[in-house]
Structure 1
Amino acid sequence: MPKALRIAPALCLALGIAAAPTPAMAQTPPPPPPAAATAKAPDYVKAAGMSDLYEITSSKLALQKSRNADVRRFAQMMIDHHQQTTAATVQAARQDGLRPTPPRLGGAQASIGELSRASGDAFDRLYIGQQIPAHQAALELHQGFAANGDKPALKASAQSAVPIVQQHIQMLQQMPR
Protein backbone atom coordinates (compact mmCIF):
# COMPACT_ATOMS: atom_id res chain seq x y z
CA MET A 1 0.00 0.00 0.00
CA PRO A 2 1.43 3.42 -0.90
CA LYS A 3 2.60 5.51 2.04
CA ALA A 4 0.09 8.32 1.27
CA LEU A 5 -2.83 5.92 1.64
CA ARG A 6 -1.52 4.67 4.99
CA ILE A 7 -1.19 8.23 6.33
CA ALA A 8 -4.59 9.39 5.03
CA PRO A 9 -6.74 7.42 7.54
CA ALA A 10 -4.64 8.62 10.45
CA LEU A 11 -4.81 12.19 9.17
CA CYS A 12 -8.59 11.96 8.73
CA LEU A 13 -8.95 10.61 12.24
CA ALA A 14 -6.80 13.38 13.67
CA LEU A 15 -8.70 16.07 11.79
CA GLY A 16 -12.02 14.55 12.80
CA ILE A 17 -11.07 14.66 16.44
CA ALA A 18 -9.74 18.20 16.16
CA ALA A 19 -12.90 19.34 14.39
CA ALA A 20 -15.24 17.73 16.90
CA PRO A 21 -17.24 20.31 18.81
CA THR A 22 -16.11 21.01 22.33
CA PRO A 23 -18.78 20.57 24.98
CA ALA A 24 -20.54 23.79 25.87
CA MET A 25 -20.18 25.10 29.39
CA ALA A 26 -23.21 24.74 31.57
CA GLN A 27 -25.23 27.88 31.76
CA THR A 28 -27.14 28.72 34.89
CA PRO A 29 -29.21 31.86 34.39
CA PRO A 30 -30.45 33.60 37.52
CA PRO A 31 -33.83 32.28 38.68
CA PRO A 32 -36.91 34.21 37.56
CA PRO A 33 -38.67 36.37 40.13
CA PRO A 34 -41.72 34.98 41.94
CA ALA A 35 -45.12 35.73 40.39
CA ALA A 36 -46.07 37.91 43.39
CA ALA A 37 -43.27 40.31 42.45
CA THR A 38 -45.38 41.68 39.59
CA ALA A 39 -48.12 42.85 41.96
CA LYS A 40 -46.89 43.22 45.55
CA ALA A 41 -44.44 46.02 46.30
CA PRO A 42 -42.23 44.24 48.88
CA ASP A 43 -41.78 41.27 46.52
CA TYR A 44 -41.09 43.59 43.58
CA VAL A 45 -38.46 45.57 45.49
CA LYS A 46 -36.72 42.36 46.57
CA ALA A 47 -36.80 40.84 43.05
CA ALA A 48 -35.70 44.07 41.33
CA GLY A 49 -32.86 44.43 43.84
CA MET A 50 -31.69 40.86 43.26
CA SER A 51 -31.86 41.35 39.49
CA ASP A 52 -29.83 44.56 39.63
CA LEU A 53 -27.31 43.07 42.06
CA TYR A 54 -26.79 40.09 39.74
CA GLU A 55 -26.24 42.46 36.79
CA ILE A 56 -23.78 44.59 38.74
CA THR A 57 -21.87 41.64 40.23
CA SER A 58 -21.66 39.66 36.98
CA SER A 59 -20.59 42.77 35.10
CA LYS A 60 -17.84 43.53 37.60
CA LEU A 61 -16.57 40.00 36.92
CA ALA A 62 -16.71 40.75 33.19
CA LEU A 63 -14.54 43.83 33.70
CA GLN A 64 -12.01 41.66 35.55
CA LYS A 65 -12.05 38.63 33.25
CA SER A 66 -13.00 39.66 29.73
CA ARG A 67 -10.47 40.91 27.19
CA ASN A 68 -13.19 41.65 24.62
CA ALA A 69 -13.67 45.43 24.31
CA ASP A 70 -17.37 45.08 23.40
CA VAL A 71 -18.09 42.84 26.39
CA ARG A 72 -16.20 45.20 28.69
CA ARG A 73 -18.07 48.25 27.33
CA PHE A 74 -21.39 46.45 27.80
CA ALA A 75 -20.40 45.36 31.33
CA GLN A 76 -19.55 48.92 32.36
CA MET A 77 -22.88 50.12 30.99
CA MET A 78 -24.65 47.36 32.98
CA ILE A 79 -22.97 48.53 36.18
CA ASP A 80 -23.89 52.16 35.54
CA HIS A 81 -27.48 51.51 34.46
CA HIS A 82 -28.30 48.95 37.14
CA GLN A 83 -26.86 51.13 39.91
CA GLN A 84 -29.22 53.83 38.64
CA THR A 85 -32.25 51.53 38.53
CA THR A 86 -31.45 50.27 42.02
CA ALA A 87 -31.31 53.85 43.33
CA ALA A 88 -34.59 54.70 41.56
CA THR A 89 -36.31 51.62 43.01
CA VAL A 90 -35.10 52.40 46.54
CA GLN A 91 -36.22 56.02 46.24
CA ALA A 92 -39.64 55.01 44.90
CA ALA A 93 -40.05 52.39 47.62
CA ARG A 94 -39.35 55.01 50.28
CA GLN A 95 -41.83 57.37 48.61
CA ASP A 96 -44.42 54.61 48.87
CA GLY A 97 -43.68 54.18 52.59
CA LEU A 98 -41.54 51.04 52.39
CA ARG A 99 -38.18 50.44 54.03
CA PRO A 100 -36.16 48.50 51.46
CA THR A 101 -33.35 46.31 52.71
CA PRO A 102 -30.07 45.93 50.81
CA PRO A 103 -30.45 43.52 47.89
CA ARG A 104 -29.14 39.97 48.06
CA LEU A 105 -28.13 37.60 45.28
CA GLY A 106 -30.19 34.69 46.54
CA GLY A 107 -30.56 32.08 43.80
CA ALA A 108 -28.42 34.15 41.42
CA GLN A 109 -25.35 33.15 43.47
CA ALA A 110 -25.05 29.95 41.40
CA SER A 111 -24.82 32.02 38.20
CA ILE A 112 -22.11 34.19 39.71
CA GLY A 113 -20.21 31.09 40.84
CA GLU A 114 -20.35 29.70 37.32
CA LEU A 115 -18.98 32.97 35.91
CA SER A 116 -16.24 33.01 38.54
CA ARG A 117 -14.97 29.64 37.33
CA ALA A 118 -15.00 30.55 33.60
CA SER A 119 -12.21 32.27 31.71
CA GLY A 120 -11.28 33.55 28.28
CA ASP A 121 -13.75 33.26 25.42
CA ALA A 122 -15.78 30.76 27.46
CA PHE A 123 -16.34 33.47 30.06
CA ASP A 124 -17.59 35.91 27.41
CA ARG A 125 -20.01 33.34 25.95
CA LEU A 126 -21.27 32.40 29.40
CA TYR A 127 -21.65 36.03 30.50
CA ILE A 128 -23.68 36.96 27.40
CA GLY A 129 -25.59 33.68 27.63
CA GLN A 130 -26.65 34.46 31.20
CA GLN A 131 -27.46 38.09 30.46
CA ILE A 132 -30.13 37.28 27.89
CA PRO A 133 -32.52 35.28 30.12
CA ALA A 134 -31.71 37.54 33.09
CA HIS A 135 -32.78 40.61 31.12
CA GLN A 136 -35.87 38.88 29.74
CA ALA A 137 -36.92 38.02 33.30
CA ALA A 138 -36.21 41.59 34.42
CA LEU A 139 -38.28 42.96 31.55
CA GLU A 140 -41.22 40.75 32.54
CA LEU A 141 -40.82 41.82 36.17
CA HIS A 142 -40.81 45.56 35.41
CA GLN A 143 -43.59 45.35 32.83
CA GLY A 144 -45.70 43.24 35.18
CA PHE A 145 -45.30 45.56 38.14
CA ALA A 146 -45.83 48.67 35.99
CA ALA A 147 -49.17 47.18 34.91
CA ASN A 148 -50.29 45.46 38.13
CA GLY A 149 -48.29 46.92 41.02
CA ASP A 150 -49.86 48.10 44.24
CA LYS A 151 -47.73 51.21 44.89
CA PRO A 152 -47.80 54.26 42.56
CA ALA A 153 -44.20 55.49 42.86
CA LEU A 154 -42.86 51.97 42.36
CA LYS A 155 -45.17 51.46 39.37
CA ALA A 156 -43.72 54.60 37.77
CA SER A 157 -40.17 53.46 38.58
CA ALA A 158 -40.86 50.04 37.06
CA GLN A 159 -42.26 51.69 33.93
CA SER A 160 -39.14 53.84 33.57
CA ALA A 161 -36.94 50.73 33.84
CA VAL A 162 -38.68 48.99 30.92
CA PRO A 163 -37.00 50.91 28.05
CA ILE A 164 -33.60 50.55 29.73
CA VAL A 165 -33.95 46.77 29.92
CA GLN A 166 -35.31 46.64 26.37
CA GLN A 167 -32.22 48.51 25.17
CA HIS A 168 -30.00 45.99 26.95
CA ILE A 169 -31.83 43.07 25.32
CA GLN A 170 -31.42 44.63 21.87
CA MET A 171 -27.70 45.08 22.47
CA LEU A 172 -27.32 41.52 23.73
CA GLN A 173 -29.05 40.12 20.67
CA GLN A 174 -26.41 41.78 18.50
CA MET A 175 -23.43 40.53 20.47
CA PRO A 176 -21.61 37.43 19.23
CA ARG A 177 -22.12 34.31 21.35
Structure 2
Amino acid sequence: MNCRALLVPLMLAALAGPIWAAECPALLQGELPKLRAKDSIDLCQRFAGKPLVVVNTASHCGFVGQFAGLETLYQRYKEDGLEVLGVPSDDFLQEADDSAETAEVCYVNYGVTFAMTEPQRVTGAQAIPLFKHLTEQTAAPRWNFYKYVIDRQGQVVGRFSSRTKPDAPELLKAVEQAIASRP
Protein backbone atom coordinates (compact mmCIF):
# COMPACT_ATOMS: atom_id res chain seq x y z
CA MET A 1 0.00 0.00 0.00
CA ASN A 2 1.14 3.52 -0.79
CA CYS A 3 2.40 5.54 2.25
CA ARG A 4 0.53 8.59 0.97
CA ALA A 5 -2.74 6.62 1.08
CA LEU A 6 -2.15 6.00 4.79
CA LEU A 7 -0.92 9.47 5.60
CA VAL A 8 -3.83 11.49 4.17
CA PRO A 9 -6.54 9.96 6.45
CA LEU A 10 -4.27 10.43 9.48
CA MET A 11 -3.67 14.08 8.58
CA LEU A 12 -7.40 14.69 8.10
CA ALA A 13 -8.12 13.08 11.47
CA ALA A 14 -5.51 15.30 13.13
CA LEU A 15 -7.10 18.41 11.62
CA ALA A 16 -10.51 17.31 12.89
CA GLY A 17 -9.26 17.37 16.48
CA PRO A 18 -8.92 14.71 19.13
CA ILE A 19 -10.60 11.41 18.30
CA TRP A 20 -12.59 11.53 21.55
CA ALA A 21 -13.97 15.04 20.95
CA ALA A 22 -17.08 13.77 19.16
CA GLU A 23 -17.70 11.01 21.73
CA CYS A 24 -16.83 12.89 24.88
CA PRO A 25 -19.59 14.86 26.61
CA ALA A 26 -18.85 18.56 27.01
CA LEU A 27 -18.71 18.33 30.80
CA LEU A 28 -15.79 15.88 30.60
CA GLN A 29 -13.65 17.79 28.12
CA GLY A 30 -10.49 18.93 29.84
CA GLU A 31 -7.92 17.93 32.40
CA LEU A 32 -7.58 18.47 36.13
CA PRO A 33 -4.43 18.08 38.22
CA LYS A 34 -4.39 15.01 40.45
CA LEU A 35 -4.16 15.58 44.19
CA ARG A 36 -0.50 15.51 45.30
CA ALA A 37 0.76 14.11 41.99
CA LYS A 38 2.68 15.49 39.04
CA ASP A 39 0.23 14.33 36.41
CA SER A 40 -3.33 15.23 35.50
CA ILE A 41 -6.59 13.42 35.00
CA ASP A 42 -7.80 13.59 31.40
CA LEU A 43 -11.52 13.59 32.17
CA CYS A 44 -12.57 12.20 28.79
CA GLN A 45 -9.97 9.49 28.74
CA ARG A 46 -10.73 8.40 32.31
CA PHE A 47 -14.50 8.86 32.58
CA ALA A 48 -16.20 9.06 29.14
CA GLY A 49 -18.79 6.31 28.71
CA LYS A 50 -18.72 5.43 32.41
CA PRO A 51 -21.19 6.13 35.18
CA LEU A 52 -19.68 8.77 37.45
CA VAL A 53 -20.25 10.40 40.82
CA VAL A 54 -18.67 13.85 41.15
CA VAL A 55 -18.48 15.37 44.61
CA ASN A 56 -17.01 18.65 45.83
CA THR A 57 -15.15 18.00 49.06
CA ALA A 58 -13.49 19.91 51.91
CA SER A 59 -11.12 18.55 54.53
CA HIS A 60 -12.45 20.65 57.42
CA CYS A 61 -16.17 20.22 56.72
CA GLY A 62 -18.52 18.53 59.17
CA PHE A 63 -19.46 16.15 56.33
CA VAL A 64 -15.84 14.94 55.86
CA GLY A 65 -16.84 11.52 57.24
CA GLN A 66 -18.67 10.98 53.95
CA PHE A 67 -15.31 10.10 52.41
CA ALA A 68 -15.70 6.66 54.01
CA GLY A 69 -19.16 6.25 52.49
CA LEU A 70 -17.98 7.44 49.08
CA GLU A 71 -15.14 4.90 49.19
CA THR A 72 -17.63 2.16 50.12
CA LEU A 73 -19.88 3.24 47.24
CA TYR A 74 -16.92 3.14 44.86
CA GLN A 75 -15.83 -0.31 46.01
CA ARG A 76 -19.40 -1.63 45.78
CA TYR A 77 -19.97 -0.54 42.18
CA LYS A 78 -16.54 -0.22 40.56
CA GLU A 79 -16.85 -3.69 38.98
CA ASP A 80 -19.97 -2.31 37.25
CA GLY A 81 -17.88 0.55 35.83
CA LEU A 82 -18.68 3.25 38.39
CA GLU A 83 -16.09 5.97 38.87
CA VAL A 84 -15.99 8.56 41.63
CA LEU A 85 -14.24 11.92 41.31
CA GLY A 86 -13.56 14.02 44.39
CA VAL A 87 -12.92 17.70 43.77
CA PRO A 88 -11.66 19.52 46.87
CA SER A 89 -12.67 23.15 47.03
CA ASP A 90 -12.26 26.07 49.40
CA ASP A 91 -15.30 27.87 47.97
CA PHE A 92 -17.04 27.44 51.34
CA LEU A 93 -13.85 28.20 53.32
CA GLN A 94 -13.38 24.70 54.73
CA GLU A 95 -10.53 23.25 52.67
CA ALA A 96 -6.96 23.03 53.95
CA ASP A 97 -4.52 25.63 52.66
CA ASP A 98 -1.98 22.87 51.98
CA SER A 99 -2.81 20.10 49.50
CA ALA A 100 -0.59 17.75 51.53
CA GLU A 101 -3.09 18.08 54.37
CA THR A 102 -5.97 17.50 51.97
CA ALA A 103 -4.24 14.37 50.68
CA GLU A 104 -3.66 13.10 54.22
CA VAL A 105 -7.33 13.50 55.10
CA CYS A 106 -8.41 11.67 51.92
CA TYR A 107 -5.81 8.95 51.58
CA VAL A 108 -4.61 8.33 55.14
CA ASN A 109 -7.62 9.15 57.32
CA TYR A 110 -10.30 7.71 55.00
CA GLY A 111 -8.44 5.33 52.67
CA VAL A 112 -9.75 6.94 49.50
CA THR A 113 -8.79 5.06 46.33
CA PHE A 114 -11.03 6.92 43.86
CA ALA A 115 -9.73 9.86 41.81
CA MET A 116 -9.09 13.13 43.63
CA THR A 117 -8.02 16.46 42.14
CA GLU A 118 -6.08 19.36 43.53
CA PRO A 119 -8.43 22.00 45.05
CA GLN A 120 -10.56 23.75 42.44
CA ARG A 121 -13.24 26.45 42.24
CA VAL A 122 -16.69 24.86 41.96
CA THR A 123 -19.05 27.85 42.22
CA GLY A 124 -19.47 31.21 40.55
CA ALA A 125 -17.79 32.70 37.52
CA GLN A 126 -14.42 31.15 38.43
CA ALA A 127 -15.79 27.58 38.61
CA ILE A 128 -13.93 24.99 36.56
CA PRO A 129 -15.68 23.92 33.32
CA LEU A 130 -16.81 20.59 34.84
CA PHE A 131 -18.80 22.39 37.55
CA LYS A 132 -20.07 25.01 35.12
CA HIS A 133 -21.59 22.17 33.07
CA LEU A 134 -23.00 20.51 36.19
CA THR A 135 -24.52 23.84 37.21
CA GLU A 136 -26.07 24.27 33.74
CA GLN A 137 -27.66 20.81 33.92
CA THR A 138 -28.84 21.12 37.54
CA ALA A 139 -27.59 23.68 40.07
CA ALA A 140 -24.35 24.79 41.67
CA PRO A 141 -23.32 23.12 44.91
CA ARG A 142 -24.65 25.03 47.90
CA TRP A 143 -22.14 23.51 50.29
CA ASN A 144 -19.41 20.89 50.46
CA PHE A 145 -20.11 17.25 49.61
CA TYR A 146 -22.76 17.91 46.98
CA LYS A 147 -23.00 14.79 44.85
CA TYR A 148 -23.75 14.63 41.14
CA VAL A 149 -24.53 11.28 39.51
CA ILE A 150 -23.75 11.28 35.79
CA ASP A 151 -24.81 8.58 33.33
CA ARG A 152 -22.72 7.10 30.54
CA GLN A 153 -23.85 9.82 28.10
CA GLY A 154 -22.68 12.63 30.37
CA GLN A 155 -26.12 13.61 31.63
CA VAL A 156 -26.77 14.32 35.30
CA VAL A 157 -29.34 11.81 36.57
CA GLY A 158 -29.21 12.96 40.17
CA ARG A 159 -27.98 15.82 42.34
CA PHE A 160 -27.80 15.35 46.08
CA SER A 161 -27.15 17.74 48.92
CA SER A 162 -24.46 17.50 51.56
CA ARG A 163 -26.93 15.88 53.93
CA THR A 164 -27.53 12.96 51.56
CA LYS A 165 -25.24 10.16 52.65
CA PRO A 166 -23.46 8.06 50.00
CA ASP A 167 -25.54 5.01 51.00
CA ALA A 168 -28.91 6.82 50.85
CA PRO A 169 -31.48 4.83 48.85
CA GLU A 170 -32.20 7.73 46.48
CA LEU A 171 -28.50 8.15 45.68
CA LEU A 172 -28.03 4.40 45.19
CA LYS A 173 -31.03 4.38 42.85
CA ALA A 174 -29.47 7.15 40.74
CA VAL A 175 -26.11 5.31 40.68
CA GLU A 176 -27.82 2.12 39.51
CA GLN A 177 -29.70 4.11 36.85
CA ALA A 178 -26.39 5.57 35.65
CA ILE A 179 -24.80 2.11 35.56
CA ALA A 180 -27.75 0.73 33.57
CA SER A 181 -27.51 3.54 30.99
CA ARG A 182 -25.80 2.80 27.70
CA PRO A 183 -23.20 4.98 26.00
TM-score of the pair, normalised by structure 1: 0.28
Q: Which has the higher contact order (CA 8 A, sep 6+)?
A: 1
Task: Looking at secondary structure, tell me which structure has more helix per residue.
Answer: 1
The structure having more radius of gyration, on CA atoms, is 1
Q: More strand by proportion, 1 or 2? A: 2
